[in-house]
Amino acid sequence: MTPHANIMSSFTMTMGSFITIVLFLALLIQIHGKLGMMMMILTTTTKSRRQEQHGLEIVVVICLRGNGFMMNHTLFMIPHTVHLLRSFLIAKRMADHTNSISSIDGSLLGATYQRFNGKDFLRRYRGKSIMFEGDSLSLNQWQSLTCMLHTAVPHAHYTLVKTGGLSIFTFTAYDVKVMFSRNAYLVDIVSESIGRVMKLDSIEAGKMWKNKDLLIFDSWHWWLHTGRRQAWDFIQEGNHTLVKDMDRLVLYEKSLNRWAKWVYHNVVPTKTRVLFQGVSPDHLNAGQWGDPEANSCKGQTRPLLGFKYPGGPHPAELVLEKVLRTMQKRVYLLNITTLSQLRKDAHPSVYRGHKGIDCTHWCLAGVPDTWNQLLYATLIQN
């Protein structure tokens, strides 16, 4: 009996009815292929004592990719305890929204490149470990990659483990670990008697990064938070006097410079390849793309055309590129910013599963799949 069958055999009649509805929706979507680039995430929690004891919440995930670079589809279930997919990624994609992502990123690349091959990816990284280190946009890409790889080998056994801020998806037949570690700033924030202090000269989390075969870093989104969403009370650089705040781009550059030092002192290029995800843009201000009738990504149904974003380069991306140019050890920039800036239509928007509008994260399937297409192309071409 397969793992899926083992899980489903324990469901109550109510859960069985729920799954029937989901399968019907999957069949309906499959018949009406125009709904191609879409992911539906439907969650339910059973109330049995056994499941409450193990904190089990079943997440039903339908991965459908049509018109893009993935033509496969699959239906699988995972324990919610590993948080593979979060509720804010609920995506509603209509038929007239389904412009091919691959045609957009292909035109931006301006060259022929190898399309994503999940089996080949797993073979190349057999016995190796991949770690995504960053914020919720890094989580977005990790979720996408695990789904794309699972779609390529839907019957392959896997395990999912979450410990604190570390999630590990292991394809046991290939001995490939795809990990995500939540770390929004890369540098440390420690609790002291005066409050939370950001230490710009300290990266204790780097102990976890050592000896990985592939490291993919990300940081920017949380640097803009202020007020109660700000994660620190004071900032300290070396033995200098503590300050409460500073220009966020300056602060971002200082943290990246400290990260660059960590790479220089700890990465062995023959063992570990290092990439930086690049800056994932938001679409909170429609003025940036010149739409006087819009306020944000809400209601956007088409990507921007062309090769340049009307709002210009992202300031944080320019800072990131500046730091990477000064590094003595090679780090690949996964330059996802411009192609993502053009996708004002690709956010969860009002379909995030709770109140509010999300113009920061991305629907799955969607833009992060394109990031992983570019990741794959980078890995096999270099």
Beta bridge partners of 274: 215
Q: For this structure, is 358 an active site residue?
A: yes
- Is the peptide bond prior to 156 cis by the omega test (within 30 degrees of 0)? no
362 close to 346: Cβ distance less than 8 angstroms: yes
Instruction: Kindly provide the b/e burial profile for residues 84-117, where b requires at least 16 CB atoms within 10 angstroms of the residue's own CB.
Output: bbbebbbbebeeebbbebbebbbebeeeebeebe
Instruction: Select which of 83, 314, 347, 361 is catalytic.
Output: 361
Which amino acid, 354?
A: H
**222 — phi, psi (to 5°)?**
-80, -10
* Calpha distance 191→196 (Å, rounded): 5
Q: Please determine, for residue 268, whether its predicted confidence score (pLDDT) is greater than 90.
A: yes
Per-residue pLDDT, averaged over 70-88, amounts to 29
Structure tokens at 72: 């496969």
Phi, psi dihedral angles at 291 (to 5 degrees): -110, 100
**Predicted confidence (pLDDT) per residue in 171-198, tens digit:** 999 999 999 999 999 999 999 999 999 9
Question: In which band, very low, low, confident or very high, does the pLDDT at 39 lie, cut at 50, 70 and 90?
Answer: very low
Cα of first residue to Cα of last residue in the chain, in angstroms, is 41
pTM: 0.74
| Residue among 56, 40, 39 at smallest CA distance from 48 | 56
pLDDT at 58 over 80: no
Quick check: is 361 catalytic?
A: yes
Block residue for tokens 């379909």: 351
Residue 141 pLDDT > 60: yes
The neighbour count for residue 286, using CB atoms within 10 Å, is 20
- Per-residue model confidence (pLDDT) at position 112: 54
Q: Spell out the residues 6+ positions from residue 80 whose beta carbon is closer than 8 angstroms to its own.
A: 43, 55, 56, 57, 58, 59
Q: Which of 102, 129, 136, 296 is catalytic?
A: 136
Classify domain 99-381 at the CATH superfamily level.
SGNH hydrolase (3.40.50.1110)
**What's residue 263's pLDDT?**
96
Of 135, 282, 345, 358, which residue is the catalytic one? 358
Question: Residue 92: pLDDT band by 50, 70, 90 thresholds?
Answer: very low
- Tell me what the pLDDT averaged over the chain comes to: 75
- CB 361 within 8 Å of CB 136: yes
The pair of three-digit structure tokens given for residue 253, joined into one six-digit string: 């550059």
Pairing verdict, β 273-276 and 332-333: parallel
As a whole number of angstroms, the distance between CA 351 and CA 88 comes to: 8
Q: Is 193 part of the annotated catalytic residue set? A: no
Span 6-37, pLDDT tens digits: 433 333 334 444 434 443 333 333 333 333 33
Higher pLDDT, 108 or 245: 245
Per-residue model confidence (pLDDT) at position 329: 92
Is pLDDT above 70 for 101?
no
Which tokens go with 329? 């050890």
- Smallest Cα–Cα separation from 250: which of 264, 266, 235? 235
Here the tokens at position 57 are 């919440």
Written as one string, the DSSP assignment of 167-210 is EEEEETTTTEEEEEEE-SSSSEEEEETTEEEEETT--TTHHHHT
Query: Quick count: other Cβ atoms within 10 Å of Cβ 183?
Result: 25
Buried b (16+ CB within 10 A) or exposed e, 243-258: eeeeeeeebbbbbbeb
Structure tokens at 215: 């490291």
